[in-house]
Amino acid sequence: MERDFPIWQVLNEEGTVVQPEYRERITKELTMVMYRHLIRTRTFDRKCVSLQRQGRIGTYVPYEGQEACQVGSALALNDEDWMFPTYRDHGAMMTFGRSLVNTLLYWKGRTEGCVPPKGKKIVPPSVPIATQLPHAAGAACAEKWKGTKNAVIVYFGDGATSEGDFHEGLNFASVFNAPVVFFNQNNQYAISVPITRQMRSKTIAQKALAYDIPGVRIDGNDVFAVYFQTAEALERARHGGGPTLIEAVTWRYGAHTTSDDPSRYRDQEESKKRRETTDPIKRVERLMQREGWWNEQWANQVQEEVNAEIEQAVAEMERYPKANASDMFDYVFAEPTWTIAEQKEAYLHWKRVMEG
């Protein structure tokens, strides 16, 4: 099966374009856009880990190492498309248009973080594993019934493929030929459990055979492979070609969350080695150097602009007024039930009395 589903690359580790037919499409402009988003998502992620360590946000889920998966796939979307992410996909969400402030607010435990920008169909991250796959299938059916050309992307990890909802989501989408791209980030670990404990199959892409849909296995650290294959899958979906399963093989350098200690279950040398060899940003730098597009001053400027944007977002997050207790009661139903109305009134009254 590994032979039937080889890992497809456009840009190899050395930054060489290995698919001649894509050569023309890898322009300097596109590469610069990719680079900027990659730097932005990585810098943001590192900032969040540091904010968590300082107690300025809550438990945080880092994605460092997986930026190419998230940036490449999100840039392939049209504005009108839907995104169903997991809790590790805020890199994709921010690339697609979710603000940095809202992303920070989410990790600060605020529901404001789940509200997408106006017009953007970014559903809040699914925390239970694989449960968002059926949602994506259903939202995609709805687009089809409305007669639009909009498509849906849904993200999930390797562990999610062991869940029943993985099967139910893919099966539903396949039966109804729904315009949805199932984007798997195979980072090879579900917290501590390696992929060999999730499945005996050698690839995730091969699972597409069971649903009679295209299955594509790509290098998830190659932002161009991700971008082109996601764009092709979305294009197929928009024109009645139904769902696609994409397996993007990648690696998370760090912990599952800031509460996790990966040294308990894997050799940290592996991550170190991968940072030097397969890193998604390094290989874009290598491409740019190879092509003569690299400009140190420009790269520094990108980094500075990104730093400033992030610092501004952090400041805005920290200026946010304290969470209002009544918010907790106000959005459960369109109209509160008497139980919620009574509980809210009694609690707020008690709180006012206690706080003087």
User: Going residue by residue from 38 to 77, which x/- string records binding to another protein, judged by CB under 8 A?
Assistant: ----------------------------------------
DSSP letter for each residue of 97-140: T--HHHHHHHHTT-GGGGPPPTT-EEPPPB-STTTHHHHHHHHH
**Does the footprint of another protein cover residue 164 (CB under 8 A)?**
yes
Question: Is 146 an interacting residue with respect to another protein (CB under 8 A)?
Answer: yes
| β-pair type (189-190, 193-194) | antiparallel
Do the beta carbons of residue 67 and residue 91 sit within 8 Å?
A: yes
Q: Which two tokens stand for residue 131?
A: 């449960």
Q: Which C-beta is closer to another protein: that of 26 or that of 141? A: 141
Q: Which of 89, 143, 158, 222 binds another protein (CB under 8 A)?
A: 143
Query: Does residue 219 bind another protein (CB under 8 A)?
Result: no
Q: How far is the CB of 178 from another protein (least distance, A)?
A: 9
CA distance 356 to 350: 10
Rank residues 39 and 141 by Cβ distance to another protein and give the closer one. 141
Q: Does 116 bind another protein (CB under 8 A)?
A: yes
139 near another protein, rule: CB under 8 A: yes
Write out the binding residues for another protein, residues 302-341 only, by CB under 8 A: 327, 331-334, 337-339
Q: How many CB atoms lie within 10 A of CB 287?
A: 24
The Cα–Cα gap between 2 and 5 comes to: 5
Rounded to whole angstroms, the Cα distance separating 176 from 259 reads: 40
> Residue 255 has what DSSP assignment?
-
Report the nearest approach of another protein to the CB of residue 241 (Å).
19
For residue 136, count CB atoms less than 10 angstroms from its CB and return exposed for 0-12, middle for 13-18, buried for 19 or more: buried
Under rule CB under 8 A, residue 191 binds another protein? no
Binding span for another protein by CB under 8 A among 58-66, 85-93, 136-144, 239-247: 136-144
In three-state secondary structure terms, 188 is: coil
For the bound state, the minimum distance from the C-beta of residue 93 to another protein, rounded and expressed in Å, comes to 13
Task: Give 126's strand partners.
Answer: 86
Positions in the binding site for another protein (CB under 8 A): 82, 84, 111-112, 114-116, 123-124, 126-128, 131, 133-143, 145-146, 164-165, 167-169, 171-172, 175, 327, 331-334, 337-339
